[in-house]
Amino acid sequence: MAQTALAKMLTSGVEGLSKDLIRALPVAWRHRPREHEGYDFDDDRLVTAAKAAMLLSQPLILAGEPGVGKTSFARALAARLDLPFLPPIHVKSTTSGMDLFYSFNEVARFRDASNPNSNAGLIDYIELSSLGKSIVLSAGPSALVHLGPQSTDTLFGVNAHPFGDARELPLEDIFPSVFSAEDHGRSIVLVDELDKAPRDAPNDVLAEFEDMCFDISELGITLQANPERFPVVLITSNSERSFPDAFLRRSVFHWIDTPTDERLCRIIASAAAANGTLAPSDPLIRSAVAYFTLIRNTIENKKPSTAELISYVSALVAAGFKPTDEVSDANPKARPFKGILMKTRVDLEADES
Q: In the prediction, which pLDDT does 113 show?
A: 82
250 part of a folded domain: yes
Residues 141 and 160 in one domain: yes
**Residue range 161-214, pLDDT digits in tens:** 788 888 999 999 999 989 876 556 899 999 999 999 998 999 999 999 999 999
Residues 204 and 299 in one domain: no
Residues 79 and 224 in one domain: yes
Q: In the prediction, which pLDDT does 274 show?
A: 60
Side-chain half-sphere exposure of 238, counting CA atoms within 13 A: 14
What is the span of the domain harbouring residue 200?
36-255
Residues 100 and 231 in one domain: yes
* CB 57 within 8 Å of CB 211: no
For the chain, state the CA radius of gyration.
25
Q: In the prediction, which pLDDT does 1 show?
A: 46
Query: Which of residues 232, 255, 278 is at a domain's end?
Result: 255
Residues 239 and 348 in one domain: no
312 part of a folded domain: yes
Q: Within the chain, where are the H helices?
A: 3-11, 19-24, 44-56, 70-81, 106-113, 130-139, 152-156, 171-174, 200-204, 206-211, 245-249, 261-271, 283-298, 306-318, 345-352
Q: Residue 281: left if φ>0, alpha if ψ -120 to 50, beta else—which one? A: alpha
10 part of a folded domain: no
Residues 250 and 276 in one domain: no
Q: In the prediction, which pLDDT does 36 show?
A: 53
Q: In the prediction, which pLDDT does 168 show?
A: 93
Phi, psi of 21 (to 5 degrees): -65, -45
251 part of a folded domain: yes
Report the domain count for the chain. 2
Task: Compute the distance between CA of residue 110 and CA of residue 271 in angstroms, rounded to an integer.
Answer: 47
Task: Compute the distance between CA of residue 205 and CA of residue 89 in angstroms, rounded to an integer.
Answer: 15
What's 204-216 look like in SS3?
A: HCHHHHHHCEEEE
The H or E element containing residue 236 is strand 232-237
Ranges under pLDDT 50 in the chain: 1, 37
In this structure, the strands spanning 144-146 and 252-255 are unpaired
Residues 241 and 288 in one domain: no
What CATH code is carried by the domain that includes residue 191?
Answer: 3.40.50.300
333 part of a folded domain: yes
Residues 120 and 82 in one domain: yes
Residues 241 and 146 in one domain: yes
User: What is the three-class DSSP state of 60?
Assistant: strand
6 part of a folded domain: no
Task: Compute the distance between CA of residue 110 and CA of residue 99 in angstroms, rounded to an integer.
Answer: 19
22 part of a folded domain: no
292 part of a folded domain: yes
Query: Which of residues 255, 281, 308 is at a domain's end?
Result: 255
Find the angle CA(337)-CA(340)-CA(342) to the nearest 5 degrees. Answer: 105
Residues 283 and 344 in one domain: yes
- Nearest to residue 79, comparing CAs of 36, 118, 109, 42? 36
Task: Compute the distance between CA of residue 306 and CA of residue 291 in angstroms, rounded to an integer.
Answer: 12
Query: Which of residues 255, 284, 301 is at a domain's end?
Result: 255
Q: In the prediction, which pLDDT does 38 show?
A: 54
b/e sequence 21-36, b meaning 16+ C-beta within 10 Å:
eeebeeeebeeeeeeb
Task: Compute the distance between CA of residue 203 and CA of residue 210 in angstroms, rounded to an integer.
Answer: 11
Residues 271 and 230 in one domain: no
Residues 67 and 43 in one domain: yes
In this structure, the strands spanning 126-128 and 144-146 are unpaired
DSSP string, 284-317: HHHHHHHHHHHHHHH-SS-PPPHHHHHHHHHHHH
Task: Compute the distance between CA of residue 232 and CA of residue 163 in angstroms, rounded to an integer.
Answer: 33
